[in-house]
Amino acid sequence: MPITTCVFDAYGTLFDVAAAARQAASEPAYAAMKDCWPQLASHWRLKQLQYSWLRAITGAHTDFWEVTRNGLDWALDAVGLAGDPALRQRLLDLYWELQAYPEVPDMLKALKAAGKQTAILSNGSPDMLDGAVQSAGLGTVLDDVLSVESVGIFKPDRRVYDLVGQRFGCAPDEVLFVSSNGWDAAAAAGYGFCTAWVNRAGEPVDRLPWTPDTILSDLTGIPALAEA
């Protein structure tokens, strides 16, 4: 069936999760981050994901903002900056203002011009996602923003992917699901979505029962893929 609906993961897919650490490192007050910010950003993102998986497996759900704070605390400890509460607060504040990747606005505009429905499907809590969408100016090119908070469990639980059909009334094979997380794109493929993995870092494919249908280096090719 033709693709009617294009759904995007938020963090790392539309929004640059390293932007908070990169911005803080550029500010004179946080010069201690100048050399270690890439490591901190990597630690922060990895722990954020790991904690979401562990909470899903153990049934210990909390909102994504708590997971984000927990991941940052681990990352600051790992790079030796855990004793700077001002830095911690600055990084958390910046996370509400993450930049979109440069190609995102035009890509979403092209999808809307082609008559596609567009949405975010994210682990993020509704208020976090609203802050990111408004900060990046994407509100007019998204039909909805779907959060796991409505089902109380993180990806890759199938109940999260169910939200797309419930909202848009579409079959799984009418959906192009796009994520920067290989495991997320793989799980969505297993669910029945057409999937694209935005592999900006050139990482190996995860060894899982399913694989993404398409692998891209950025989001520029998504409108053409949705029409193919």
Catalytic residues: 9
Contacts of 72 (CB under 8 A, 6+ apart): 44, 88, 91, 92
Q: What is the enclosing helix (H) or strand (E) of 104?
A: helix 104-113
Q: What is the enclosing helix (H) or strand (E) of 91?
A: helix 85-95
Q: What is the enclosing helix (H) or strand (E) of 176?
A: strand 175-179
Amino acid at position 150, single letter:
S
Q: What token pair was written down for 141?
A: 């090119």
Whether residue 85 has a cis bond before it, omega within 30° of 0: no
- Sequential DSSP letters for 27-71: SGGGGGGTTTHHHHHHHHHHHHHHHHHHHHHHT----HHHHHHHH
Tell me the angle at which helices 85-95 and 64-78 cross, rounded to the nearest 10 degrees: 140
Q: For tokens 């979403």, what's the residue?
A: 108
The alpha carbon of 36 is separated from its chain's Cα centroid by a whole number of angstroms, namely 23
